[in-house]
Amino acid sequence: MFWILEITVGANFAIAIAEQAEDLALKKKDVQEDEVNKLKSFITDEPTALFWESAITESEFHFLINQKIGNAEYNIKDLSGTDAKPFDKTSAQKMFDSAKGIKEVKKEPAPNA
């Protein structure tokens, strides 16, 4: 089963987390070949993360990260298509940094009462 968790906070933070890794090579190719939202530059181009600037009329910033958390693989990306205007670099950088820092949280067993 495939699921997506969307997390939004105000107008400057919106990410989607999905339960499988995404093909970053294919995503990079799609970004490079997009004729509408034209690539300006890759800010981060790593084996597990892409962060780029593109523009239709004005600059916007997007990212995609593959992250292994525990035994599962996830992809985390900016949640585009929101009613807000596209993310600026500062907002996208905060989301990117937050996504890269996601870690597994293990619950401690409750002490015996």
Is 109 within the bounds of a domain?
Answer: no
3-state per-residue secondary structure call for the chain: CCCEEEEEECCCEEEEEECCCCCHHHHHHHHHHCCCCEEEEEEEEECCEEEEEEECCCEEEEEEEEEEECCEEEEEEECCCCCCCCCCHHHHHHHHHHHHCCCCCCCCCCCCC
Q: What's the total number of domains in the chain?
A: 1
pLDDT at 1 over 60: no
pLDDT in tens, 46-84: 999 999 999 998 999 999 999 999 889 999 999 976 566
The parent domain of residue 81 ranges over 4-100
Is 107 within the bounds of a domain?
Answer: no
Is 113 within the bounds of a domain?
Answer: no
